[in-house]
Amino acid sequence: MDLKKTASEIIEAVGGKDNIAAATHCVTRLRFALKDEGKVDKEQLEKIDAVKGSFSTSGQYQVVIGQGTVDKVYNELAAQAGIAHQSKQEIKDAAAENLNPFQRAIKTLADIFIPILPAIVTAGLLMGINNVLTGPDIFYTGKSIVEVHPQFGDFASIINLIANTAFVFLPGLIGWSAVTRFGGSPLLGIVLGLMLVHPDLLNAWGWGAAKAEGEIPTWNLFGLSIQKVGYQGQVLPVLVASYVLARIERFLRSKIADAFQLLLVAPIALLVTGFLSFILIGPITFTIGQWITNLFTGIFDTVPAIGGLVYGALYAPLVVTGMHHTFLPVDLQLITSTGGTFLWPILVMSNLAQGSAALAMMFLLKDEKLKGLSVTSAISAYLGITEPAMFGVNLRFRFAFISAMIGAALAGMFITLNKVIAPSIGVGGLPGFLSIVPQKWAPFFVGMAIAIAVPIALTLLWGKTKAKKGELA
């Protein structure tokens, strides 16, 4: 690859160096904050050999290059455009100026949950290993591996402990990420999150039983009775408390002299936020979380076919808009409240469907670059990363994207009718079965087959029809 030529062509296609407000890169993509996205020549951009696709999301214009190459292209691009090497956060801040309030709210959720996603996915994979060891009827009829081979019992127990840590101390992870996002001190965010799951508090998972027996412990605060309840696995309490903590900390830092900040800012901020968390924020947001859980479980219990069909069809368009990030907190809430989420397995169906539609395009396209992109992006989607398939292939040929939506909808409906749930979040692709309860592996595998076969068949049939009409090009 001629790096200088590639960088020069990309700069020209995005409107010239004067149109670039800021730029950085991630593992596979160049990320631009452009002054005017209307100046982008998308057709010219995607003719460049190194470019595998491009799209706009959350105020950023992203150009898919590929792992191992993107950093080289970026370095040359930065040199030619005369821009300083910038962090992802700087690009996000520059891009946020172009967002409306609703988009900013979605972006805020993404900024909070994306940094902790690797820990959650890792925990999900480890829980999947534990499921294989402890689930009955996988290798032995009516028994699990640890029952037949007791020597593996402690091995499975340690794996389960390691896997559960991210979920048990989830408020600590969210507290760190959220307080950082809201402009506070990350360390205070960790302390806040861990405070909400302190061992002296009633475990959140035992709250229902304790309430039924009338044995919820309380504090007596000058006549006010406050429940001593923890928020293990809860999302909303720590999100709101983190926002309050960051605002209080920032206010105090602006009012207190530097010489006294170490002694006053953190103690006051944590003390005030702590009392507010247990008196108001925790009880109110815990109730709201229960309402959200009841809303989704009510819909999927009452009309499971429609729920699975609609969510399966709409998940890919949600990814296009960035709104899919709003459902990760819902997944975590469902896992905590009901023991498993029925939404995340549908995400797997959508990812597989998009990858399958992209794979089918390989047999329809004549352009060698697009054929190669179809294969590589399909593999990426099968491993849980769908952006290359969606933006690089399927959205270019809308019928492929629609075929994938149909396949995901049918697969989502099937697994929902069969009550497939995931007690954890893992890799949203072929390895996703590891995060499904073993008793539901069979219907989940059938759903995967539907999500793969239907988009391939529809894309090929639809594509051949278009090819005959001369519309495929």
Angle between helices 153-168 and 170-181 (to 10 degrees): 30
26 a catalytic residue: yes
- The H or E element spanning position 63 is strand 60-64
The DSSP 8-state label assigned to residue 429 in this structure reads S
Is residue 409 classed as helix, strand or coil in its secondary structure? Answer: helix
Beta bridge partners of 227: 218
Beta bridge partners of 296: none
The residues near 206 (Cβ < 8 Å, ≥ 6 apart) are none
The residues near 382 (Cβ < 8 Å, ≥ 6 apart) are 351, 352, 355, 429, 430
DSSP H helical ranges for 303-386: 304-321, 327-338, 344-361, 368-382
Phi first, then psi, for residue 2 (nearest 5°) are: -85, 100
The residues near 10 (Cβ < 8 Å, ≥ 6 apart) are 30, 45, 48, 50, 51, 63, 73, 77
**What is the Cα–Cα distance from 303 to 132, expressed in whole angstroms?**
31
The one catalytic residue in 3, 21, 26, 268 is 26
The DSSP 8-state label assigned to residue 220 in this structure reads E
The DSSP 8-state label assigned to residue 48 in this structure reads S
Looking at the annotation, which residues are catalytic?
Answer: 26
